[in-house]
Every structure is written in C-alpha cells, then in structure tokens.
Amino acid sequence: MSQQTINEQFGYQAWLAYHPLADEAKREAANYRWIASCEQEETVQAAVSELVRGIGGLRGEAVQVSKEQEPITGKGIRIGTFKGNEEVRLLCGDAVERLSMEGFVIRTVGDITVIGANTSAGVLYGAFHLLRLLALGNAPADSDIVEKPANGLRMINQWDNIDGSIERGYAGQSIFYANNEISYDSERIQDYARLLASTSVNAIAINNVNVHRLETMFLTEAYLPRIAELAAILRRYAIKLYFSINFASPIEVGGLQTADPLDAEVREWWKSRAADIYAAIPDFGGFLVKADSENRPGPFTYGRDHADGANMLAEALAPYGGLVIWRCFVYNCKQDWRDRTTDRARAAYDHFMPLDGAFHPNVLLQIKNGPMDFQVREPVSPLLGAMEHTNQLIEFQITQEYTGQQRHLCYLVPQWRTVLDFQTLAQGAASPVKRIVDGSVYGRELGGFAAVSNIGSDANWTGHPLAQANLYGYGRLAWNPELTAEEIAREWAAQAIGPDEAVIDTVCEMLMASLDIYESYTAPLGVGWMVNPNHHYGPNVDGYEYDRWGTYHFADRDGIGVNRTVQSGTGYAGQYIGENAAIYESLERCPDELLLFFHHVPYTHRLHSGITVVQHIYDTHFDGAERAEGLVRKWQSLTGLVNEELYRLAQARFSEQAAHAKEWRDIINTYFYRKSGIADERGRTIY
Amino acid sequence: MSQQTINEQFGYQAWLAYHPLADEAKREAANYRWIASCEQEETVQAAVSELVRGIGGLRGEAVQVSKEQEPITGKGIRIGTFKGNEEVRLLCGDAVERLSMEGFVIRTVGDITVIGANTSAGVLYGAFHLLRLLALGNAPADSDIVEKPANGLRMINQWDNIDGSIERGYAGQSIFYANNEISYDSERIQDYARLLASTSVNAIAINNVNVHRLETMFLTEAYLPRIAELAAILRRYAIKLYFSINFASPIEVGGLQTADPLDAEVREWWKSRAADIYAAIPDFGGFLVKADSENRPGPFTYGRDHADGANMLAEALAPYGGLVIWRCFVYNCKQDWRDRTTDRARAAYDHFMPLDGAFHPNVLLQIKNGPMDFQVREPVSPLLGAMEHTNQLIEFQITQEYTGQQRHLCYLVPQWRTVLDFQTLAQGAASPVKRIVDGSVYGRELGGFAAVSNIGSDANWTGHPLAQANLYGYGRLAWNPELTAEEIAREWAAQAIGPDEAVIDTVCEMLMASLDIYESYTAPLGVGWMVNPNHHYGPNVDGYEYDRWGTYHFADRDGIGVNRTVQSGTGYAGQYIGENAAIYESLERCPDELLLFFHHVPYTHRLHSGITVVQHIYDTHFDGAERAEGLVRKWQSLTGLVNEELYRLAQARFSEQAAHAKEWRDIINTYFYRKSGIADERGRTIY
C-alpha cells in the first residue's frame, strides 16, 4: 500500500482526525477566521499548520493565516513565544511568570484567543491543547488556561529492529526500518511525530534496547547522516531523538580489546563518539541502555558496577547536555527453577539500591512499573521511591506484550493510574509514585516517563483500532498524571472516532471495563505469567514454570503462589517502605489482587471477598469470558454508527478475543480443577 | 567447508570407512589380488569400484581389476550378472535358480570368490555384503551364501526443503538443496547413495512430504532436467528416485479450476505430467503423497475419498511402472482438547480400513509404525495387518524427532524390531508385522519399508556420530528383518569405528541400552508427548495437553492416562485383532509399557512389576538420568581408543544428554509429585 493510500484509511489520522463538529454551539466555538503568528521558527510554524488543519477540519471551513501585525478582523488566534512575539506576551499577562519551559497559556480576550509559551515546544503543546478542547467542545468562552507538564522527560521507546521487525510489535512492521536499512516515509514519520507531540511526548529512542549487529553501528558515519535526517523531522515537533547503544561498542565498533568502563581508552572512545554524534545532531537526546540483562553485555563483564557503566557514558554526553537512560531490568535470566531462594522480583532493587547517589546528574534510571515484566497485575516496583539521590524514570509498556497483543482489548491507563497513585511512603503519604518520578519528592531535576510504543506500519498504527487509546493515554498521563482514565478515554474516543455522544459512551464503557475483563480470564490474583513461552500469547499455565526466567507459580495439588515474605519466603516484601512492607508481608492484609504474588496459599484459602482462591479462579474466568463475549455484542450495537472500516477491523478482533477468552477460561479452570480436585460450587462445565 | 575437506573428516565415510584390518587372519581373508568383471553396465562397475576401494582399504594394498577372461593368478573375485557373465553363472551353480531379482550369491571355490546375481543391483548388494563380511572378519573360507531381500521396497524419505532446510533435520542443512534451488555436490550425493545402497535402500523420495510452493513445481520443465541428473547419480547405485507431490498441483501448476480426482481434465493433466517426467527420467519411481493431513490439500476437498485420490495418480503412473506411495497419516489436526470422544489414534484405521481393496495395484499405503507419531513408545498401528487387499509399507522415523534429536543417543533398531515382531494375528500367529509388510501374509506383490532420513550436511552425516547406526540399521532390517539389533550394532560399530573388539563391545553396550534409557527419563508408560510444542525437544508435561493435535495424557490429581478401551473409552483397543484387542482392553493384561496409552489409572495403580504408577515414574526417571550420566563415563573409558574427532563430538553430545536427562527427570517427577502429592518411597529429591 502506498503512503497516500494508507493516509486515506480510517484510523490513520487517529486522534488528530479533526472530524467536523456536528453540534452548532461547538462549531461556533471553533469558528476562528484567522491565525496570526510572526515567528518563522519551525516548531511555531508546525503549531500554526496544525491549527490550520485542525480548525479547518472541525469547523468545515478554511482558516486564514496572517503573518502581519494586523490580521483579518473577527474571531482569531494569536500564537507565539513570549520572546518572539511581543503581542502574545502582553496578552498573556501575569500567566507568563508562572510558566515552565514547556508550559503554555491559552487565554481568550474578546474575539482573540492567544496561545503563548516560553518555548516553541510550549507553543506547539498549546496549539494541540486548544484543538483538543475544540474537538471535545470544551473550549470555555473566557478561558484562562495555564498548563505545564508534570514530568520533564516524556519518552517513547521504539523496539524496532533494522531488519524491519519490531520486538513485541503487533501492528505490522517498523515505520523506521526495512531490509537492514534505515528506511522510512518522511510523511509517515512526521505524522507519528504529530501524534506523539499532540499528547506531549518529547523524546524517542528509535531502536530496540536489544541492540543487534547493524544497530550497534548507529553511532558511526555509516548511519549518522540518515539518523540526523530523522532527528530533523522529529525536531519540528519538539521531540528529541535518542538511540539504544550496545555496551560492547568499543569492541564491536571501535576494535578495542575491552569495553571496561574504567579503561581510559574506552572512555576516550565514547567521548569521540559523542563528539561525532553531536556534530551530526546538535540536539541529540542521549543513549538508552540495556546492560547486563538477558544476555546483553554490560559492566559486570569487567567486574564493574552499573554506576561505573552509566557514568562513563554520562561523562561523554555531559558536555552536550545529553542524557543516559539506564534500564534497571537486570536479573538472572538463567535461574534454576529448582532454586526457590533466588527471586527475580528482588533483582532491580538488589542491584541498584546500593548504588543510590553514585550516578552522575545526567543519568536517569529507567525502572519498569513492576518488579517482573509488564504483567497485567504486579505490585509497584519497590525501587520507585527507594532511591533518594538518583533520577528515576518509570517505564510502562504500551505495546500489549502480556496483555492481549492488540488482538484483545486492554486499555492500560487504569493500570498506570494505579501505579502512579501508589503511595511509596518514601516521605510519608505525600509520596505517590507520580511524585517520585516527576522528581518532586526528592527535588530531582530530571525524571519522567518512558514507555514501549505500540505502533507499526498498520494503517491505523496499532492493529486493534482501540489500542490507539493506550498510546494517547500514555502521553496525556505523562503531561498530567491527575487525568482520570475515563477522562482520557473520552478524549481519545471523541477525537478519534467522532463526536456522537452515544458512541463515545459505549466505547468508553468498553475501554474502561477491558483491563478488568482481561485480568479476569488470564493469570489469577497477581501471580502472572501462565502464557505460552517466547511469543507470550495465549494460556499455558506451566509455560514458564520449569524455565530459567525466574517466573513461577508453584501450584501443586494443595495450593499456589510465591512466598515472598520476609518471615518465611524470599524477603521481597521487605523491600517496601514501612506499612507497605507490613501489608504485603501479612497474609491477612495483603490485597486479594496481589495475594499470590506474595503468598503461597491453599486453594481453600478465603479471600477478603469471602470466597476461596479456587472458587475465585473459577468465578473470574467464567465471568471474564462472558464479559469478553459481551464486548462483541456491545460493539455490534455500534453497527452503522461508526466508520465501516473501523467497525469491521474491531469486530474481527473482538470475535477473536471472545473465542480466545473461552480458551483461557477452560484451560485455566481445567488446570486448577485437575490439580485441586475441587468442583465449581456452581456446577459449571470444567473439563 | 569444501567437499574435499568434509570428506576428510572422520565419520564422513561412515560404515564404508574400510579401516585397515589389524588381525592377521582377517587380513588374510581379505587378501584378494584381482577382480574380474566383463560387464560395462554402470551398477556392476559401481560394485567393482567399491570392491577395489574396500579391499584396498581393508588389506592395505591395492587390488587389480581385470576385464579379460583370464585374470591374474592367485586369490580373486569374479563378479557379474548371470546374463552378462557366463563364467559367473556357471560358478554359482544351482543357487542361480533360487534367486529373486535383487538377491545375490557369494560362493568361494578354491582361490576364487564369485559374486553373482540376476540383476546388477543384486551384484552391487553382493559386493557390499562381501565387503561387510571381510570388514567384520566373518568371511567363511568356503562360503556359499545366498541372500535375497525380504522386502521389495526399501525406501528413504528426505524431508528436505528447497530452501536448504530439513523438516525435523538435526544434522545440518540439506545436501540436495540450497537457496531455493536444487543445489548439490555430486560427490556428496554419490557418497550418500553408496551408504544407502550398502544397506540395501533402493528408493528415495527427494523432498519433504509437506510440499511447498517451489517444490510443487518439481514436475515441470523448470526442475525436471536437474532432477534427472540427480536420478542418474542414484541409478548407478540401484536407487530409484521419487518425489513428493502436492495434491493441488493441477490448480497451482496447471492453472485448472479444480484438483478433483474424478475430474477428467485433472486426470488428463496428471497423465501429461507423468509423460513429461518419464521422458526425463525413464526409471522414475513414483510419487509420495501426504494428502488431507495437517493442512495439506487432498481429495476430501472435493468430497472424494483417498482411494479416488491415489488411484488417479496410479492411473497416470501405471503405464511406466511407477508407484504411488500414499501416506495414512491422516487425522483431525484441529481437534478440541475438551472433546474426549475423538481419538487421533483411531484415525488411520478409521479412514483407510473401509477402503481396503479399492486401491489400484501400483498403490502402496505408507503406514506409520504406531497410531500417533513416532513417540518413543506406542503400540503398533492396528492398520498393519488389517487390510487384506491393499499393499502396505511401514513407515519408521530414523531422524530422532521425538527421541532426542541426535543430541541424545537413541538407537532405534530395538524399537523397530519390536514393531516388526509384533503378532498382528491377521492370519494367526504367523502374521507378524514383518510378514505383513513384506507382502507374504496376504500374498501382496508390493510392500516394504519407508523411513525418514536422519542425515544432513554435517561432515559425519548424522550430527551425533553414533546416530549413523540408525540409518545403517534401517537399511539392514529392510533387507533382513531377522537380524537382531545387537548384530546390527556390532556390524555398524566394527565398520564405522574400527576393529578393536573392546571398543565395539562398549559402543554396542551403549547403543543397546540407549532406547531404554531415553524412554526411562521421558514420557512414562506409553503415554507419549510431554515435549515442548513445535520443535519437540525437551520436557513439557502439559506441552500438548490443551492443544489441538489430539495428544493428551489427562493427568489430574488422582491419575493419568487415556481410556481407549471399547467398554468405556474411545474404542481404539477394538481396532486390534482378536486376542490383541482383548489384551489391550484389559487393565489386568495390558503390558505395563503401554498402560497409559490404553487406560486411565490412579497413580496408586500397581503395575505387573508390583510398584505403583507414580513410584514407577519416580524410579525410572531417577534411574534414567543416572544411566544417561553413565553413558558419559562409558564413553570416557574410550579416551585414546577411538578417533579423536569422533571422541570429542560424541563426548559433547553425551554431556548434553546427561544434563538434559536431569532436566527431564526433575520436571517430570516434580510435575507428578505436585499433582499426586505422593512422596517418593525412597526419599529422593523432588522439587
């Protein structure tokens, strides 16, 4: 399919579709006749272009652009930076004082709406914000909006490989690479940048953290010119380009004998590479690093620690303002399943906690939201909040590796909200995860969000049309973690699907129910895994039970779960602070949904809900499969009310999900029935 | 590695290594000074060449070839066909009368040993036989040997793909194909032909039964010339070339609208193809067909039966003497695991038994040895012996798909002997499987063996150096199913490894123990499967339990096994004849080693051995892993006594096997301990 043809598919424009407003009042609110801007700076111009496009779409009539001081009369927009546009600065009044670098002001005075910011990035965010308000019909007549991002870094990680594949990609091939080359359609990259910027994303790492042979060469002249071209497209949308590096580059690229981070020659080599990179890309973001993890090279090879490794790179990037994003996903991936003392859940904390304070100021540790690996339910990583003197970045997974692979609907924003609102107790009750990662609890200058993207070459970007809501929601939360999952769902649906309120209600209802539905028919009570190895799709209760990945449930004929207590288990519960540790340690107080993550209990153990563990498994699995079937019917109720192509695509996925949920239900239930011998109290069919 | 370099690797010559005889008397027996032959026919000349090569190697001195009537004086060999060599015919005396087409006579009169046969193929087999006797030091001074093959068809199936891969190949890439082309080294093909012919193989199907896009075109001008060249190499060694065809060829190649076997145009199309093929390869063997099986096309698509399908092809090949080898591996591969009434084990019998007598005389049904798929232990397929009016070919699997993939030692000849000796009771006690497939029980003209090859591009052909014994043994059994597994092991070891009797003893002991060892630490008591899906290597008890392949063990907390009785199960046991059916039906009489194939029993059920099922599982698995470790030590005892390269290669495999056997032991034992809750009586460690 040509890019032209792809653009015309429903879904390609995603939440920037700017569907014409049907409601008279809403259309009137969007009835701007002119846009005035006096700056040529490319990001300001990108903001103007987006306004032209967006308002044109929403009101169904073109809007005029004026670069003159005196614009067309009637309702209009003035837009610009405080430095570059005096009029804008004056119109914004005292709001100017309250703004951070990326914040913006939207103020309406009479016929004029002004969008102003300290930086062109802020201007762009303001433009997208106004368009969102208009599309939602929420633009107040006399608005006085001041917004600034909660998090400084709002990053996307592409797990794309130069061969065109995407590790854990479920929406086609890479839009960045093909046939072992950097190969892209500029328009598609620009449209991706528009989508990202519209949600607030300001950083992207363009290649998989597992850095293979050719990608290792990205920091050489063979690739830098082409990467610089990519950076230029992204720059217009205020997105900084990063790439993942191979820790063994000094050997593999430089021909050195070692990659020892304390070796002088190695350090010089990295400094030279940094100089090369910044010569090509003056605003290069920095390196994303997966080291000593799942067979990747790292400082352990040389008897050094992760601070040694990260600081070496930080030193090379510091003169240019570059950052090192160092992943904490470090654990023994060759564990013996017979060994019940080693606990993968402990690994990140055990590895990194002793290094608190040892990292350079331009290093951020990227910490997965949970201690394992993006399961549908995990406790929050105890490392979040534990390190007082270290910059922390939380890592989410937008791509649905363990959550249905974009064939099942699983709206993840509620999960992320739960994580972000978790009280770490680092400094008492005012220390939720969102205040840790935004840097405010410990007064860190750097912090934020990172997440693995869920997009690919599919015309609608995400395979499942409704999976777009996860990408959208990620960026929105990164900007403002106080937004509710429901608010975000409504924003996405209204912009992406169209303004019909009944449709929006139904779609939101489906999105909001989806995480709970998915959790119901998959691994129960926080124990995780139970998927087919490698590809991670579909039920397999023992799939990871006798493997080397540290992922066990220890189900026997009497009970199930992992004893992670301090008293008699792996001690993981003790990595939490104060009362949190006490709650998880206690069989009585541990929340039901995490029970099997922390405790090994008999099948007859009664949950707080009053029912037994095994009956809970049966009930949730029957219920989950039924509700998955309900999604099919709910979607069917939208026949004729949504775009036909959208309907067809989602319908196929909902049908697959419903059938697959039954498979999950029957395999999980049968497994536990055969193992426990305990019949379903309600006599439903188990095989 | 160049072919030249490969040839020089130890193991490349396999059992045709012709190691110099150390023993004086044995060397004296091989002390032929001349070979006389007066025929130019290529297979006779191949026999002469082999004698020159072999005797030269064994006695360490070249032998002279004479094409004159009067040869050099002293000890010598006369060789030829009865028709082409009058002197040979006379020397063979009345043995001439007793010979079939492929049989041979070896007679020693004074200084002269004569090798005579009706056909040049017989001459070749005679030459290889004499060489084998000499290498083993078994050549009687006054020999009068008359041999003829028990089976008419002695076939090898290559599961090679044109992309160079081999389905279920564990010894490198294909020697026939590379990069989507027929691409081979002629010398390597010739050496493969020599190896095969020396064991008696007279037919080979050169491509995978799963016929992909390009291989579907083999019957076109694009490929036939190159295939004819292959056929020419094989012809010299009396091996007929077959290939696997795609039943949908009339559509995919011919552009017809249908492949309906009763469609006149389709039948004509196949006749034209047969004409093309025989124009290129006048002695083309015929087609091997996998139809309506595991998503392959077949007659079911058109509402026809398998006789319709096979007969259509038979009709096309008949004018040229070609054969249709039609596989009976037909079953529902999309079974619902919840459905306990459908039984894959029944499938071949249910599909084919009603068609007995409906097949043309040049059709042979190729029937896997067991009803499932080459598990380490299965009952014999009840279809063998059941069809009175149909030619039957038994299919074995030399490649170790489910038996350790040539990383574990598993000498399969004892398994095949068990199958061949199984009394079908078709016509009373004189109807073992070997007499069914050789055609004698029902007086069928066509019958024999087929088997999937275990060779690839590895220098030693089979990856595990000792896996050669399986290929060797297969051909030898096909010629003479009365040979014992031990005899065959000794033959192979003496020829391939060398004449040291102590070494031979040790290697034979290892080979003879290996099947039982492998069975001990893998799936117990005939239940099969319990392997990782897809690649089929390594333990995974539930790997195929909730899948669509019809492969279940139904283990729950109380017991395990598949109820295949007539009385209360799937009725499979009733497919056997008379007393066999009664034995399998009976929980008391069913042999222990097949108990779980036929019955679902409690873990506490006592075997004939007196111990319980679960204790048997524990005992055999502890024992098997220990004996696998014993193989390492046994092999170590050969340090310095065998070729260094051979030692190193096998040592690495034995180490891997021992470690992997422990993994099998612990996973199987833990699974059943967790499920049954019954502790090991001997208190050994289970996790």
Average pLDDT over residues B430-451: 97
Q: Which of A338, A546, A675 is closest, CB to CB, to B557? A: A675
CB contact under 8 A, A542 and B539: no
As a whole number of angstroms, the distance between CA A140 and CA B94 comes to: 114
- Over residues B190-228, the pLDDT tens digits come to 999 999 999 999 999 999 999 999 999 999 999 999 999
Scanning every residue of chain A, which has its alpha carbon at the shortest distance from the alpha carbon of B555? Answer: A674
Average pLDDT over residues A339-356: 97
A252 CA to chain B: closest CA distance, Å? 26
Q: Which of B542, B558, B666 is closest, CB to CB, to A542? A: B542
pLDDT at B69 over 70: no
Same domain, B610 and B668: yes
Residues 6+ apart with CB under 8 A from A487: none
CB contact under 8 A, A674 and B542: no
Scanning every residue of chain A, which has its alpha carbon at the shortest distance from the alpha carbon of B664? Answer: A546
Same domain, A142 and A52: yes
| pLDDT score of A1 | 63
In this structure, the strands spanning B144-147 and B104-109 are antiparallel
Which DSSP symbol is given to B223? T
Chain A residues within an 8 Å CB radius of B670: 546
Residues 6+ apart with CB under 8 A from A147: A103, A104, A106, A125, A126, A129, A479, A480
- Over residues B498-520, the pLDDT tens digits come to 989 999 999 999 999 999 999 99
C-alpha triplet B411, B412, B417: angle, nearest 5° = 130
Side-chain-side CA neighbours of B574 within 13 Å: the count stands at: 10
| pLDDT confidence band for B72 (50 / 70 / 90) | confident
Residue B102 is a catalytic residue: no
CB contact under 8 A, B546 and A675: no
Where a domain ends, among B96, B119, B147?
A: B147
Position A2 in a domain: no
Scanning every residue of chain B, which has its alpha carbon at the shortest distance from the alpha carbon of A687? Answer: B338
Same domain, B234 and B293: yes
B334 touching A (Cβ < 8 Å): no
Where a domain ends, among A147, A175, A210?
A: A147
| pLDDT score of B562 | 98
In this structure, the strands spanning A448-452 and A153-157 are parallel
Helix, strand, or coil (residue B586): coil
A575 CA to chain B: closest CA distance, Å? 27
| pLDDT score of A7 | 83
Domain count, chain B: 3
Scanning every residue of chain A, which has its alpha carbon at the shortest distance from the alpha carbon of B532? Answer: A543
Same domain, A450 and A538: no
Chain B residues within an 8 Å CB radius of A555: 674
Same domain, A358 and A413: yes
Chain A residues within an 8 Å CB radius of B338: 666, 687
| pLDDT score of B96 | 83
Q: CA of A430: how far to CAs of A393, A426, A427, in Å?
A: 18, 8, 7
Position A681 in a domain: no
Same domain, B130 and B278: no
B221 touching A (Cβ < 8 Å): no
Asked if A21 contacts A656 with a C-beta cutoff of 8 angstroms, the reply is no
Position A537: which residue type?
Y
Position A93: which residue type?
G
| pLDDT score of A248 | 97
Query: Does pTM top 0.90 for this prediction?
Result: yes
A687 touching B (Cβ < 8 Å): yes
CB contact under 8 A, B555 and A674: yes
Residue A96 belongs to domain spanning: 13-147
CATH code where residue B109 lies? 3.30.379.10
pLDDT at A68 over 80: no
| pLDDT score of B476 | 98
pLDDT at B549 over 80: yes
| pLDDT score of A133 | 95
- Over residues B552-587, the pLDDT tens digits come to 999 999 999 999 999 999 999 999 999 999 999 999
A537 touching B (Cβ < 8 Å): no
A605 CA to chain B: closest CA distance, Å? 18
As a whole number of angstroms, the distance between CA A45 and CA A35 comes to: 11
Mean per-residue pLDDT over chain B, rounded: 96
Average pLDDT over residues A397-411: 98
Helix, strand, or coil (residue B614): helix
| pLDDT score of A524 | 98
Side-chain-side CA neighbours of B347 within 13 Å: the count stands at: 24
| pLDDT confidence band for B95 (50 / 70 / 90) | confident
Transcribe A64-109 into DSSP letters: EEE-SSS--SSSEEEEEETTT-HHHHHHHGGGGGG--TT-EEEEEE
Average pLDDT over residues B47-65: 95
Same domain, B301 and B175: yes
Name which of B293, B402, B312, B408 is nearest B352 in CA terms. Answer: B293
Asked if B395 contacts B369 with a C-beta cutoff of 8 angstroms, the reply is yes
| Interface confidence (ipTM) of the complex | 0.90
| pLDDT confidence band for B97 (50 / 70 / 90) | confident
Mean per-residue pLDDT over chain A, rounded: 96
CATH code where residue B179 lies? 3.20.20.80
CB contact under 8 A, A337 and B557: no
Q: Which of B541, B546, B677 is closest, CB to CB, to A667? A: B546
Transcribe B346-415 into DSSP letters: GHHHHHHGGGTT-S-TTEEEEEESSSSSS-SS-PPPTTTTT-TTSEEEEEEE-S-TTTTTTTS----HHH
Helix (H) / strand (E) element for B115: namely strand B112-117
Position B217 in a domain: yes
- Over residues A515-548, the pLDDT tens digits come to 999 999 999 999 999 999 999 999 999 999 999 9
pLDDT at B140 over 80: no
pLDDT at A490 over 80: yes
Residue A373 is a catalytic residue: yes
Name which of B333, B332, B335, B330 is nearest B348 in CA terms. Answer: B330
- Over residues A438-483, the pLDDT tens digits come to 999 999 999 999 999 999 999 999 999 999 999 999 999 999 999 9
| pLDDT score of B1 | 63
Same domain, B633 and B662: yes
Position A241 in a domain: yes
Name which of A67, A98, A100, A73 is nearest A85 in CA terms. Answer: A67
Position A65 in a domain: yes
Helix, strand, or coil (residue A182): strand
Asked if A249 contacts A203 with a C-beta cutoff of 8 angstroms, the reply is no
As a whole number of angstroms, the distance between CA A574 and CA A564 comes to: 9
CATH code where residue A541 lies? 3.90.1330.10
Chain A residues within an 8 Å CB radius of B546: 539-540, 666-667, 670-671
A vs B, Cβ pairs < 8 A, gives 49
CB contact under 8 A, B557 and A555: no
| pLDDT confidence band for A280 (50 / 70 / 90) | very high
B534 touching A (Cβ < 8 Å): no
Position B381 in a domain: yes
Position A76 in a domain: yes
| pLDDT score of B13 | 97
Sign (positive or negative) of CA dihedral B306, B308, B314, B316: negative
Residue A421 is a catalytic residue: no
Where a domain ends, among A131, A147, A163?
A: A147
Residues of chain B numbered 446-485 and touching chain A (CB < 8 Å): none
Name which of B536, B547, B521 is nearest B397 in CA terms. Answer: B536
Q: In what order do the strands lie in the sheet with A34-36?
A: A64-66, A34-36, A76-81, A112-117, A104-109, A144-147
pLDDT at A81 over 70: yes
- Over residues A546-587, the pLDDT tens digits come to 999 999 999 999 999 999 999 999 999 999 999 999 999 999
B542 touching A (Cβ < 8 Å): yes
| pLDDT confidence band for B428 (50 / 70 / 90) | confident
Q: Which of A540, A674, A687 is closest, CB to CB, to B557? A: A674
Residues of chain B numbered 630-669 and touching chain A (CB < 8 Å): 666-667
Lowest mean pLDDT among A395-404, B69-78, B279-288: B69-78
Same domain, A459 and A529: no
As a whole number of angstroms, the distance between CA A82 and CA A100 comes to: 12
Structure tokens at B47: 């026999």
CB contact under 8 A, A666 and B539: no
B658 CA to chain A: closest CA distance, Å? 16
| pLDDT score of A4 | 72
Same domain, A430 and A528: no
Position B362 in a domain: yes
As a whole number of angstroms, the distance between CA B623 and CA B519 comes to: 11
Scanning every residue of chain B, which has its alpha carbon at the shortest distance from the alpha carbon of A336? Answer: B663
Residues of chain A numbered 548-567 and touching chain B (CB < 8 Å): 555-558
B410 CA to chain A: closest CA distance, Å? 25
Q: Which of A541, A557, A670 is closest, CB to CB, to B557? A: A557
Same domain, B170 and B139: no
Residues 6+ apart with CB under 8 A from B70: none
Set A294, A421, A542, A663: catalytic member: A294
Scanning every residue of chain B, which has its alpha carbon at the shortest distance from the alpha carbon of A531? Answer: B543
| pLDDT score of B432 | 98
Q: Which of A539, A557, A666 is closest, CB to CB, to B677? A: A557
- Over residues A220-236, the pLDDT tens digits come to 999 999 999 999 999 99
| pLDDT score of A112 | 93
| pLDDT score of A69 | 65
Chain B residues within an 8 Å CB radius of A677: 556-558
Set B401, B438, B519, B585: catalytic member: B401
Same domain, A206 and A277: yes
C-alpha triplet B445, B449, B452: angle, nearest 5° = 150
Name which of A92, A202, A575, A154 is nearest A370 in CA terms. Answer: A575
